């Protein structure tokens, strides 16, 4: 069933009420999540959400209104209300605003999916989490927790520029965490990542994770961490695993290259960016090994789509090429303000939220090495992986990250396990110190990226591989 | 354009209808609980001193939790027509029947009247419709929010500004198959903005039950004063410093204590530092959860939780002694106690959390406090007496991006934001650049470590509507600053 007419009604109502541009999205989303603890299902929740969000531009000012009612009267009223809100915005106006052209388009797109995750029997899905958490518990975990999440989203987008685009995106993922309790501290190990691995794929993604098979090792490593020596404090060579690299990219590159942050539109909450548009194309962000790509077209990655929520087709773009900053994540309005000619990175968390600049898939091109080669080439250092904590300042410069597990590196080999590994640094200095990068790339999915007011949760993807960094401060403690 | 107010008992009727449909589909033995909740949230956001995002939504959502044949499942929908409700019921029944046996099902809330705060009596024992609800706030228009933004921008007097003005209206009813049926409504207003000057940011925030109490000009002037006083910051070496945390910074401590300390599930799983009956905080510390509002302030949330348990005030810490934990029905059953009314949609997984914490202010200091040389300086009024008594230390406005390194010890790392100043001999002597800290929050509040508490608890908003803090300034003996934000 198409909802183009519902969206079109709202757009026309906004135009009739004085908007010079309007767009609307009808979104139907089903979501399902299950958690299990110590061999029992703990919670099972399924949600169904349907509604329309309409955006109106009056002069240089925006208004947005959203309703769950798709009747003709409600969608017309929503369009009028969006225009009325835009008129109120115009009482505290900004400079004249245009939108970069994206081209009228009628299109349809769907993510690839082998096994529809919604249709997999709940008993099978529950059994997987029960078996995985029981296996971790049996192997010595004091607390074993498992989770899977599924999202099935259908969207119909109409704009006054002539867009009529429908998309069907299916996403899912799962993960397992084993925790052990020591004297005043907790150690944990997660598989395959903190909060799990996610993608725009079907249930085949979850079965490939082998949660049950990996559970005993997670419990054993968490137990071993309790008696492992703490990560030493000081400056050293740091080797990061791929999962932690994904988080490093997300926090210290992905958010920093969001054009709305660079323009100050997020200054009061999410923050700004240390990047200065005047140096786009010349600023050295990192070493020559650093090639960061924005690519919403990666099959199966969590940040993938056919068209963003402004109707711009998915396109691949350099953000950092051989260490030089060359691109941003942009929307039609922010790009126009910045004098750029491309958009394509605007999304909303469902029908009730305003589309805004969001990461898609932002990740590293593969490097020339392997993790084994990186370890073998390191005389003295620390290896860390699997994120445990993350904190970064409001300009995306000063970060401190903690990992679940570390190992010392001595004379080209992994040595003792280290507990509570942390590292800290300043983004561009850190990236400039990257001197080895693996080719073993995985597109990690982050299903919990928070941004915006009211709050929105974004799904992003981050191709990442292990890498080595010189002279990094590690072992920061309270 | 005004928000539409839901007619009285409309949601209660819808909830009862869902219970009736569940009985028809799953039999009389099925245990069902239904929350029908209408949320209208409007937020006018500004940046670069212009309104750049201005949004509103109005959503009615029906949530059903069902326990049938020993198995449990929950679901929700925004489709409130008969087809949408039947679809919700059918898939929730199917999900429950395919789920494993739920040995920890705590049962339904029995019929229980609502608690009424001293200041706001309800209209009936099952109704919280008159709970200090301010209809003018619920009906606030985009023009009223824009007016406050305009005043904030003007009061900043040329400084670049950013932030939001928010109004929310919630109307809801809960019913279950055990006979509990309650309804209530709430409204909230909040404003949160910064002023910016040469890389120096100053902030001002306020939460209120009435939009009429939010004055954009007052907040804009306060933010601008802080920004002006923060220019040309110096860098200080990392180390342990005495600090005065202003109320905005104090809210972060309250938030973390709610998530990781007083959370009944985290406690049962041995992940919390909290020990009931133990002197874990300085004797000056008393922390209360106040979901019903207090002291003339209307509540910003409903008078019952998602399990239909009536909410009421709960003393978590009294004079330094940990007295209580927050529970939903599941964590309470495990702990052998009663629910404290802290069930949320995800509390079975994340644990039940307090969302309306008040750190009790200290009695007002009676001795004269020196008038600051610059009344428009950076120190919040409620923090001035504490600053005046600090020999050497830091005044911290706000904390940012705080994350837990170890939940048991509640060691947190984060950064300062929106203004830090060096205080010497009771006076601000220099602006200081932002710094990273790594600090155990319970240790910072431990016996002997709290040197003073401000005499005013300021009402402050959370990033999520319906969550509010009442926080005073705090003078702490030591705060572990582990680096400068610049490296």
pLDDT tens for the 487 residues of chain B, in order: 667 788 878 999 999 999 999 999 999 999 999 999 999 999 999 999 999 999 999 999 999 999 999 999 999 999 999 999 999 999 999 999 878 788 889 999 999 999 875 455 555 677 676 667 899 999 999 999 999 999 999 999 999 999 999 999 999 999 999 999 999 999 999 999 999 998 899 999 999 999 999 999 999 999 999 999 999 999 999 999 999 999 999 999 999 999 999 999 999 999 999 999 999 999 999 999 999 887 678 888 899 999 999 999 999 999 999 999 999 999 999 999 999 999 999 898 899 999 999 999 998 665 555 554 455 688 988 899 999 999 999 999 999 999 999 899 999 999 999 999 999 999 999 999 999 999 999 999 999 999 999 999 999 999 887 789 999 999 999 999 998 877 6
Instruction: Let me know whether B110 and B41 are in one domain.
Output: yes
Q: Within a 10 A sphere around the Cβ of B43, how many other Cβ atoms?
A: 22
Nearest C-alpha in B relative to A59:
B52
Tokens at residue B50, please? 């212009």
Compute the count of residue pairs across chains A and B with CB atoms less than 8 Å apart. 276
- Structural domain includes residue B459: yes
Interface test with B, best of A52, A89, A272, A394 (most B CBs within 10 A): A89
Chain B residues inside the 8 Å CB shell of A93: 50-51
Helix runs in A34-171, H state only: 72-89, 122-138
Q: Do B463 and A455 touch (CB under 8 A)?
A: yes
Q: Quick check: A346 and A314 in contact, CB under 8 A? A: no
Distance in angstroms between the alpha carbons of the first and the last residue of chain A: 57
Q: Quick check: B95 and A46 in contact, CB under 8 A? A: yes
Provide DSSP, B124-161.
BTTEETTSS--HHHHT--HHHHHHHHHHHHHHTTTSEE
Domain boundaries, chain A: 4-227, 234-474
Instruction: Let me know whether B181 and B62 are in one domain.
Output: yes
Instruction: Let me know whether B345 and B221 are in one domain.
Output: no
Tell me how far apart the alpha carbons of residues B153 and A274 are, in angstroms, rounded to a whole number: 24
How close does chain B come to A35, measured CA to CA in Å?
7
Give the sign of the dihedral formed by CA B324, CA B325, CA B330, CA B333: negative
Strand partners, B304: B310
Q: Do B483 and A424 touch (CB under 8 A)?
A: yes
pLDDT tens digits along A222-237: 999 999 999 999 999 9
B121: number of CA atoms within 13 Å, CB side?
A: 2
- Structural domain includes residue B181: yes
Nearest C-alpha in A relative to B200:
A267
Nearest C-alpha in B relative to A54:
B55
Which positions 330-349 of A are in contact with B (Cβ < 8 Å)?
none
Residue A230, chain B, CB below 8 Å: the answer is no
Residue B309, chain A, CB below 8 Å: the answer is no
Instruction: Let me know whether B155 and B300 are in one domain.
Output: no
Nearest C-alpha in B relative to A90:
B51
Give the residue ranges of chain A where pLDDT is below 70: 478
Chain A residues inside the 8 Å CB shell of B483: 398, 400, 424, 476
Instruction: Let me know whether B83 and B135 are in one domain.
Output: yes
How high is the pLDDT of residue B123?
56
Chain B residues inside the 8 Å CB shell of A89: 44, 51-52, 54, 142, 146
How close does chain A come to B112, measured CA to CA in Å?
25
Residue A357, chain B, CB below 8 Å: the answer is no
* C-alpha separations of A432 from A324, A392, B60, B130, B267 in Å: 10, 18, 50, 61, 43
How high is the pLDDT of residue B259?
96
Tokens at residue A110, please? 């769907």
Query: Judging by beta carbons within 10 Å of its beta carbon (0-12, 13-18, 19+), is residue A379 exposed, middle or buried?
Result: exposed
Residue B57, chain A, CB below 8 Å: the answer is yes
Tell me how far apart the alpha carbons of residues A159 and A143 are, in angstroms, rounded to a whole number: 50
Q: Quick check: B42 and B6 in contact, CB under 8 A? A: no
Chain B residues inside the 8 Å CB shell of A88: 44, 51, 54, 141-143, 145-146
Q: Do A122 and B98 touch (CB under 8 A)?
A: yes
Residue A453, chain B, CB below 8 Å: the answer is yes
Chain A residues inside the 8 Å CB shell of B462: none
How close does chain A come to B141, measured CA to CA in Å?
9
Q: What is the DSSP letter of A365?
A: P
Chain B residues inside the 8 Å CB shell of A264: 47-48, 160, 162
Residue B268, chain A, CB below 8 Å: the answer is no
Q: What is the DSSP letter of B221?
A: H
Q: Which residues lie closer than 8 Å to B7 by C-beta, 6 or more apart? A: none
Instruction: Let me know whether B215 and B252 are in one domain.
Output: no
Q: Do A268 and B417 touch (CB under 8 A)?
A: no
Instruction: Let me know whether B22 and B136 are in one domain.
Output: yes
Chain A residues inside the 8 Å CB shell of B74: 43-46
Tell me how far apart the alpha carbons of residues B261 and B267 are, in angstroms, rounded to a whole number: 7
How close does chain A come to B97, measured CA to CA in Å?
9
- Structural domain includes residue B4: no
Residue A252, chain B, CB below 8 Å: the answer is no
Chain A residues inside the 8 Å CB shell of B104: 40
Q: Quick check: A81 and A87 in contact, CB under 8 A? A: no
Interface test with A, best of B4, B14, B78 (most A CBs within 10 A): B78
Residue A59, chain B, CB below 8 Å: the answer is no
> Looking at the partner chain, which of B80, B84, B153 has a beta carbon nearest the beta carbon of A92?
B153
- Structural domain includes residue B128: yes
Domain-ending residue, one of B198, B228, B258: B228
> Looking at the partner chain, which of B87, B194, B415 has a beta carbon nearest the beta carbon of A48?
B87
b/e map B160-182, b = 16+ CB within 10 Å: bbbbbbbbbbbbbbbbbbbebbb
Instruction: Let me know whether B202 and B275 are in one domain.
Output: no
Helix runs in A141-268, H state only: 204-208, 211-227, 242-249, 259-262
How close does chain B come to A289, measured CA to CA in Å?
23
- CATH code at A4-227: 3.30.2290.10
Taking every pair of C-alpha atoms in chain A, what is the biggest distance, in angstroms?
72
Q: Do A43 and B196 touch (CB under 8 A)?
A: no
Nearest C-alpha in B relative to A187:
B406
* C-alpha separations of B435 from A365, A399, B220, B419, B485 in Å: 33, 11, 25, 10, 5
Instruction: Let me know whether B40 and B153 are in one domain.
Output: yes
- Structural domain includes residue B1: no
Domain-ending residue, one of B211, B228, B245: B228
Residue A422, chain B, CB below 8 Å: the answer is yes
Give the sign of the dihedral formed by CA B157, CA B158, CA B161, CA B164: positive
Nearest C-alpha in B relative to A80:
B1
B325: number of CA atoms within 13 Å, CB side?
A: 29
Instruction: Let me know whether B21 and B123 are in one domain.
Output: yes
Report the domain count for chain B.
2
Tell me how far apart the alpha carbons of residues A371 and B385 are, in angstroms, rounded to a whole number: 57
Residue A388, chain B, CB below 8 Å: the answer is yes
Domain-ending residue, one of B188, B205, B228: B228
pTM of the model: 0.95
How high is the pLDDT of residue B118?
46
Nearest C-alpha in A relative to B47:
A265
β strands within B248-306, DSSP E: 287-289
> Looking at the partner chain, which of A49, A268, A398 has a beta carbon nearest the beta carbon of B47?
A268
Q: Which residues lie closer than 8 Å to B13 by C-beta, 6 or more apart? A: none
Tell me how far apart the alpha carbons of residues B159 and B153 are, in angstroms, rounded to a whole number: 8
How close does chain B come to A439, measured CA to CA in Å?
30
Phi/psi class of residue B214: alpha, beta or left (left: φ > 0; alpha: ψ in -120 to 50)?
beta
Residue B141, chain A, CB below 8 Å: the answer is yes
Tell me how far apart the alpha carbons of residues A364 and A366 are, in angstroms, rounded to a whole number: 6
Residue A185, chain B, CB below 8 Å: the answer is yes
Query: Judging by beta carbons within 10 Å of its beta carbon (0-12, 13-18, 19+), is residue B328 exposed, middle or buried?
Result: buried
Note down the domain range covering B188.
Answer: 10-228
Residue A258, chain B, CB below 8 Å: the answer is no
Q: Do B485 and A398 touch (CB under 8 A)?
A: yes
Tell me how far apart the alpha carbons of residues A145 and A122 are, in angstroms, rounded to a whole number: 18
> Looking at the partner chain, which of A65, A400, A453 has a beta carbon nearest the beta carbon of B45?
A453
Tell me how far apart the alpha carbons of residues B472 and B253 are, in angstroms, rounded to a whole number: 11
Q: What is the DSSP letter of B292?
A: T
Residue B53, chain A, CB below 8 Å: the answer is yes
Instruction: Let me know whether B261 and B398 are in one domain.
Output: yes
Q: Quick check: B319 and B353 in contact, CB under 8 A? A: no
Tell me how far apart the alpha carbons of residues A388 and A402 are, in angstroms, rounded to a whole number: 5
How close does chain A come to B283, measured CA to CA in Å?
23
Instruction: Let me know whether B147 and B247 are in one domain.
Output: no
- Structural domain includes residue B212: yes
How high is the pLDDT of residue B5?
81
């Amino acid at each position: 069933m198409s909802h183009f007419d519902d969206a079109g009604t709202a757009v026309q109502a906004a135009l009739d009420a004085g908007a010079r541009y309007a767009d609307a999205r009808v979104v139907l989303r089903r979501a399902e999540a299950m958690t299990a603890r110590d061999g029992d299902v703990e919670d099972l929740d399924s949600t169904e959400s349907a509604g329309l969000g309409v955006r109106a531009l009056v002069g240089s000012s925006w208004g947005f209104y959203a309703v769950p009612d798709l009747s003709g009267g409600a969608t017309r009223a929503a369009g009028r209300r969006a225009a009325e809100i835009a008129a109120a915005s115009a009482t505290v106006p900004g400079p004249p605003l245009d939108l970069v052209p994206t081209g009228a388009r009628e299109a349809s797109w769907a993510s690839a999916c082998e096994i529809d995750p919604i249709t997999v029997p709940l008993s099978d899905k529950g059994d997987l989490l029960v078996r995985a958490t029981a296996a971790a518990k049996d192997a010595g975990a004091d607390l074993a927790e498992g989770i899977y999440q599924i999202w099935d989203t259908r969207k119909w987008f109409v704009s006054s520029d002539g867009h009529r685009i429908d998309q069907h995106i299916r996403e899912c993922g799962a993960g397992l965490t084993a925790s052990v309790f020591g004297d005043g501290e907790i150690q944990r190990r997660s598989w395959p990542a903190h909060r799990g691995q996610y993608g725009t794929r079907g249930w085949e993604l979850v079965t490939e994770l082998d949660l049950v098979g990996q559970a005993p090792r997670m419990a054993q490593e968490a137990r071993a961490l309790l008696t492992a020596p703490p990560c030493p404090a000081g400056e050293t060579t740091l080797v990061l695993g791929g999962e932690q690299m994904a988080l490093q990219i997300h926090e210290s590159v992905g958010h920093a290259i969001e054009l709305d942050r660079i323009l100050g539109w997020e200054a009061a909450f999410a923050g700004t960016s240390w990047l200065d548009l005047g140096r786009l194309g010349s600023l050295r962000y990192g070493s020559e090994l650093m090639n960061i790509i924005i690519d919403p077209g990666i099959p199966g990655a969590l940040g993938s789509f056919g068209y963003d929520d402004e109707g711009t087709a998915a396109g691949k773009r350099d953000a950092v090429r051989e260490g030089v900053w060359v691109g941003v994540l942009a929307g039609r309005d922010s790009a126009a303000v910045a004098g750029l000619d491309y958009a394509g990175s605007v999304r909303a968390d469902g029908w009730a939220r305003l589309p805004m600049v969001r990461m898609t898939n932002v990740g590293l091109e593969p490097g020339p090495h392997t993790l084994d080669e990186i370890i073998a080439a390191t005389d003295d250092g620390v290896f860390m992986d699997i994120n445990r904590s993350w904190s970064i300042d409001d300009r995306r410069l000063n970060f401190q990250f903690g990992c679940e597990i570390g190992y010392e590196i001595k004379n080209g080999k992994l040595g003792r396990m280290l507990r509570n590994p942390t590292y800290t640094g300043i983004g561009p200095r850190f990236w400039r110190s990257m001197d080895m990068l693996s080719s073993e790339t995985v597109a990690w999915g982050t299903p919990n990226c928070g941004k915006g007011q009211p709050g929105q949760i974004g799904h992003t993807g981050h191709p990442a591989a292990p890498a080595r960094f010189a002279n990094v401060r590690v072992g920061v403690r309270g | 354009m005004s928000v539409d107010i839901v007619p009285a008992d409309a949601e209660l009727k819808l909830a009862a209808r869902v219970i009736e449909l569940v009985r028809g589909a799953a039999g009389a033995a099925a245990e069902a609980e239904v929350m029908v909740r209408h949320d209208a949230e409007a937020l006018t956001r500004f940046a670069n001193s212009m309104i750049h995002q201005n949004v509103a939504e109005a959503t009615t959502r029906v949530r059903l939790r069902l326990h049938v044949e020993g198995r449990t499942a929950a679901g929700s929908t925004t489709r409130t027509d008969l087809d949408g409700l039947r679809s919700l019921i059918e898939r929730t029944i199917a999900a429950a029947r395919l789920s494993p046996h739920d040995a920890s099902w705590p049962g339904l809330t029995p019929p229980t009247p609502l608690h009424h705060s001293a200041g706001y009596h309800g209209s009936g024992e099952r109704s919280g419709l008159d709970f200090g609800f301010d209809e003018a706030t619920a009906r606030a228009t985009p023009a009223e929010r824009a007016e406050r933004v305009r005043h904030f921008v003007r009061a900043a007097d040329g400084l670049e500004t950013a932030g939001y003005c928010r109004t929310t209206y919630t109307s809801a009813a809960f019913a279950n198959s055990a006979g509990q049926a309650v309804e209530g409504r709430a409204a909230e207003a909040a404003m949160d903005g910064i002023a910016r000057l040469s890389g120096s940011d100053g902030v001002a925030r306020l939460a209120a039950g009435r939009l009429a109490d939010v004055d954009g000009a007052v907040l804009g002037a306060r933010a601008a004063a802080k920004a002006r006083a923060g220019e040309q910051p110096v860098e200080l070496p990392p180390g342990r410093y005495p600090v005065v945390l202003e109320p905005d910074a104090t809210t972060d401590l309250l938030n973390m204590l709610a998530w990781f300390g007083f959370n009944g599930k985290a406690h049962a799983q041995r992940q919390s530092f909290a020990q009931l009956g133990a002197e874990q905080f300085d004797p000056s510390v008393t922390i209360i959860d106040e979901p019903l509002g207090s002291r003339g302030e209307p509540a910003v949330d409903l008078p019952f939780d998602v399990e239909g348990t009536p909410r009421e005030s709960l003393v978590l810490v009294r004079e330094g002694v940990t007295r209580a934990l927050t529970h939903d029905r599941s964590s309470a059953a495990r702990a052998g106690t009663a629910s404290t009314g802290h069930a949320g949609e995800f509390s079975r997984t994340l644990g039940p959390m307090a969302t309306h914490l008040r750190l009790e202010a200290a009695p007002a200091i009676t001795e004269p406090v020196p008038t600051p040389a610059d009344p428009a300086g950076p120190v919040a009024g409620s923090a001035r007496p504490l600053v005046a008594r600090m020999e050497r230390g830091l005044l911290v406005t706000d904390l940012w991006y705080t994350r837990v390194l170890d939940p048991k010890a509640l060691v947190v790392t984060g950064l300062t934001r929106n203004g830090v100043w060096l205080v010497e001999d009771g006076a601000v002597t220099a602006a200081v650049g932002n710094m990273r800290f790594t600090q155990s929050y319970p240790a910072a509040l431990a016996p002997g470590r709290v040197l003073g508490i401000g005499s005013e608890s300021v009402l402050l908003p959370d990033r999520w509507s319906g969550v509010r803090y009442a926080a005073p300034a705090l003078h702490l003996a030591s705060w572990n600053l582990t680096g400068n934000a610049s490296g």
